[in-house]
């Protein structure tokens, strides 16, 4: 799994990670507010037909303050405040603790990363309110398909063991919580029983529908992390989905299934590019965009993001025609209009700076330092870029001569 420099935060496999895609403003459909905050039209509510990306995130929202009645998990988790020797400090920071209630079948029966595990889960708030119950929750261990508190602690469970897990919000739903039942910065107490563990299915033997279903589940997980601004984990989930889609198969797929797998692949690559852009991984984002355009040359999101990548690198001359192609496909899209106008202005400013640089390099061609009798004969009407190019060629020839002489 990719590392972001700190403990990643996973979310619930249920409501929080559904990847629902509401109709929203142009900026929301193309990307998040952060990428469009430079524009003047942030309040526009016009819709377009770009729906597969995660919903608009509230970039400007400050972290929710801790609740005044919040208690340390040891004080609000039943017998969690009991004998500290009975509690395992999983990470050594006091934020995630595990306690065995019913022993299991021994250390050798613990599940391994990559296996599909099934657990019985009951999650409660500090006041005892039950916020989630699942008699048979199944997920892939280590893929961050669930709360990080579960992903970390289930690895330590023995088969048949029932344990109590007390977790700070950092390893649950963080500062955002989960509307409407889990408040921001809420600690959770998780009662977990490990019911089963088995090897993940062989991707080569999956049917077309099974492969599509599995890849979409990982993609939706990436969408959840994207909404939470966990771009490293979003990239991880999209990579897993792409690996599933691209895996070899011993099963024949129907043309419809092949088309649907390609659709999942394109969505993952598009969202992967968006996540890579957030982390300023321009080379990787450009590669993701190009992979989309290999399959769908007219994919407006890939065109838009490719233009964004090139613009971020200062390649305005290359970015402008790409955004023009996107605008031709979606003439009414105000976001592309605004982005294109911004790049045209930046490109013009860039050319002005270059012209001034050429002028300074070649000297001021004004009449101030030129004798009167020679003034009219000087070819100052020659374009500056031509002069600069000729100078560069001359200097290049001198350098080549020096190299040849040195070799001889």
Q: What local confidence, expressed as pLDDT, does residue 330 receive?
A: 87
Distance CA 362, CA 213 (A): 64
Instruction: Quote the percentage of the chain above a pLDDT of 70.
Output: 64
DSSP one-letter string for 300-349: HHHHHHHHHHHHHTT-HHHHHHHHHHHHHHSTT-HHHHHHHHHHHHHHHH
Q: How confident is the model at residue 344 (pLDDT cuts 50, 70, 90)?
A: confident
CA distance 169 to 67: 12
Do residues 144 and 1 lie in contact, with contact meaning Cβ atoms separated by under 8 Å?
yes
The residues, ordered by sequence, that sit 6+ positions from 168 with a Cβ below 8 Å of its Cβ are 73, 95, 96, 187
Look at residue 79 in the predicted model and tell me its pLDDT: 44
pLDDT confidence of residue 302? 94
Query: What does the pLDDT read at residue 397?
Result: 55
Q: Residue 134: is it exposed, middle or buried by C-beta count within 10 angstroms (0-12/13-18/19+)?
A: middle
Secondary structure (DSSP) of 341-392? HHHHHHHHHHHHHHHHHHHHHH---SSTTS-HHHHTTS-TTS-HHHHHHHHH
- Whether residue 89 is predicted with pLDDT greater than 50 in this model: the reply is yes
Average pLDDT of the chain to the nearest whole number: 76
| Residue 85 pLDDT exceeds 70 | no
- Work out the number of other CB atoms within 10 angstroms of the CB of residue 317: 12
pLDDT digits (tens, 9 = 90+) for 108-138: 999 999 999 999 999 999 999 999 999 999 9
Is residue 210 pLDDT above 50, yes or no?
Answer: yes
- Say yes or no to pLDDT of 391 above 50: yes
**Could you tell me which residues are beta bridge partners of residue 65?**
none
36 three-class SS: helix
Q: In which band, very low, low, confident or very high, does the pLDDT at 229 lie, cut at 50, 70 and 90?
A: confident
Residue 198 is predicted with a pLDDT of 95
Q: DSSP secondary-structure letter at 197? A: E
In which band, very low, low, confident or very high, does the pLDDT at 230 lie, cut at 50, 70 and 90?
confident
Average pLDDT score over residue span 355-381: 55
Give the tokens for residue 246: 């691209």
Instruction: Give the chain's length.
Output: 408
Residues 150-171: pLDDT tens digits? 999 999 999 999 999 999 999 9
Q: How many distinct helices (H) and strands (E) make up the chain?
A: 13, 6
Positive/negative CA dihedral, 9, 14, 19, 20:
negative
> By the 8 A CB rule, do 273 and 292 touch?
yes
pLDDT of 64 over the 60 cut: no
d(CA 87, CA 79): 11
Please report the pLDDT score of residue 392 as a whole number. 55
Please state, in angstroms and as integers, the Cα–Cα distance from residue 238 to each residue in 219, 268, 288, following that order: 5, 6, 11
Question: Is residue 43 within 8 Å of 58, Cβ to Cβ?
Answer: no
Euclidean distance between CA atoms 289 and 297, whole angstroms:
10
Contact indicator for 54, 221 with CB cutoff of 8 Å: no
What is the pLDDT at residue 179?
86
Lowest mean pLDDT: which of 111-120, 305-314, 344-353?
344-353
The distance from CA 77 to its chain's CA centroid, rounded to whole angstroms, is: 34
**Is residue 332's pLDDT more than 90?**
no
Tell me what the mean pLDDT of segment 281-302 comes to: 95
pLDDT at 316: 82
């Amino acid at each position: 799994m990719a590392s972001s420099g700190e403990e990643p935060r996973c979310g619930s496999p249920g409501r929080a990670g559904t990847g629902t895609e509401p109709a929203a403003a142009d900026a929301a459909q193309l990307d998040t507010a952060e990428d469009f905050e430079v524009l003047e039209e942030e309040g526009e509510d016009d819709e377009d037909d770009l729906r597969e990306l995660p919903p608009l995130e509230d970039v400007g929202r400050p972290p929710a303050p801790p609740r005044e009645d919040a208690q340390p998990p040891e004080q609000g988790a039943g017998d969690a405040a009991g004998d500290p020797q009975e509690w395992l400090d999983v990470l050594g920071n006091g934020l995630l603790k595990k306690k065995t209630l019913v022993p299991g079948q021994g250390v050798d029966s613990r599940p391994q990363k990559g296996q599909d595990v099934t657990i019985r889960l009951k999650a409660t708030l500090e006041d005892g309110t039950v916020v989630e119950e699942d008699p048979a929750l199944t997920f892939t261990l280590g893929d961050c398909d669930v709360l990080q508190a579960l992903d970390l602690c289930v690895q330590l469970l023995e088969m048949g063991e029932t344990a109590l897990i007390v977790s700070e919000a950092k390893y649950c739903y963080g500062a955002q919580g989960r509307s409407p039942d889990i408040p921001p910065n809420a600690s959770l107490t998780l009662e977990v029983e490990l019911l089963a563990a088995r090897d993940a299915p062989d991707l080569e033997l999956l049917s077309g529908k099974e492969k599509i279903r599995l890849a979409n589940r990982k993609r939706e997980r990436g969408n959840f992390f994207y909404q939470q601004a966990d771009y490293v984990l979003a990239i991880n989930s999209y990579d897993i989905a792409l690996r599933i889609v691209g895996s070899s198969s011993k099963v024949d797929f129907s043309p419809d299934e092949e088309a649907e797998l390609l659709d999942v692949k394109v969505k993952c690559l598009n969202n992967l590019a968006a996540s890579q852009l957030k982390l300023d991984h321009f080379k990787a984002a450009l590669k993701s965009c190009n992979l989309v355009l290999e399959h769908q040359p007219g994919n407006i999101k890939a065109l838009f993001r490719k233009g964004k990548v090139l613009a971020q690198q200062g390649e305005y001359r290359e970015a402008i025609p790409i955004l023009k192609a996107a605008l031709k496909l979606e003439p009414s899209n105000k976001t592309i209009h605004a982005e294109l106008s911004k790049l045209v202005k930046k490109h013009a400013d860039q050319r002005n700076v270059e012209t001034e640089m050429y002028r300074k390099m070649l000297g001021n061609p004004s009449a101030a330092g030129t004798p009167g009798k020679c003034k009219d004969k000087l070819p100052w009407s020659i374009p500056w870029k031509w002069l600069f190019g000729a100078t560069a060629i001359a200097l290049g020839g001198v350098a080549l001569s020096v190299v040849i002489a040195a070799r001889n």
